A = this chain, B = another copy of it.
């Protein structure tokens, strides 16, 4: 019962790690578009086939290489108020994600995701899901505390916080400074209408 299936393949640990390392190294040197399977293989001292055997796509390889680096720093803040919680979390995320070379890598992945649903799903899993869940959790805490209107649409709430980040990152190429996170949180919470009271 225990040996059921687990050894399906004898994957070489050495090759696996060398490939991921080479990928990270080359992507920082030449950017996502300048990355080639051929180059990774050469740099890792590996046959091309060994790459094609385990990753369907350049993009999948890049995701795996990056996902190791990027999933650890996330943690739920707990300052006592939604506003502060969100400010802390978003500031951390914005800072992290907008530091090169991440931004270039992310763009390449986004581009390839358009024509590759599997990749899109994987990207979503690695780069979005966790962060989104954290944000929603914080907002729900705010609702139980009575800070947040319980009738809001949670999807739109999350989109309103992350959308502007990606927008600035990918399209407007405008800096994601700390102030931006702060102001975005405030304005999103308070709304723009004249009738709403800020504090």
Chain A, interface SS category: helix
Please tell me if the beta carbons of B110 and A107 are within 8 angstroms of each other in the complex. Answer: yes
Partner pick for A163 among B104, B153, B165, B197, CB 8 A cutoff: B165
Residue A136 at the chain B interface, CB threshold 8 Å: no
Residue A114 at the chain B interface, CB threshold 8 Å: yes
Chain B residues within an 8 Å CB radius of A124: 171-172
Name the interface residues of A112-129: CB closer than 8 Å to any CB of B.
112-115, 120, 123-124, 128
Q: List 8 A-B contacts (CB under 8 A).
A: A104-B114, A113-B173, A124-B171, A124-B172, A159-B184, A163-B167, A167-B167, A187-B191
Minimal Cβ-Cβ distance residue in B for A197: B195
Residue A157 at the chain B interface, CB threshold 8 Å: yes
Q: A149-B196, A163-B164 are in contact. List 6 more A-B contacts (CB 8 A).
A: A107-B111, A110-B111, A159-B164, A159-B167, A159-B172, A162-B167
A contact set with B: CB distance below 8 Å: 31, 33, 103-104, 107-108, 110-115, 120, 123-124, 128, 139, 146-153, 156-157, 159-160, 162-168, 170-173, 180, 183-184, 187-198
- CB within 8 Å for A149 and B108 given contacts A162-B167, A164-B160, A173-B120: no
Please tell me if the beta carbons of A156 and B189 are within 8 angstroms of each other in the complex. Answer: no
8 shortest interchain CB distances as A-B pairs: A191-B191, A111-B111, A163-B163, A163-B164, A163-B167, A159-B164, A107-B114, A196-B196
Please tell me if the beta carbons of B160 and A166 are within 8 angstroms of each other in the complex. Answer: no
Chain B residues within an 8 Å CB radius of A31: 115
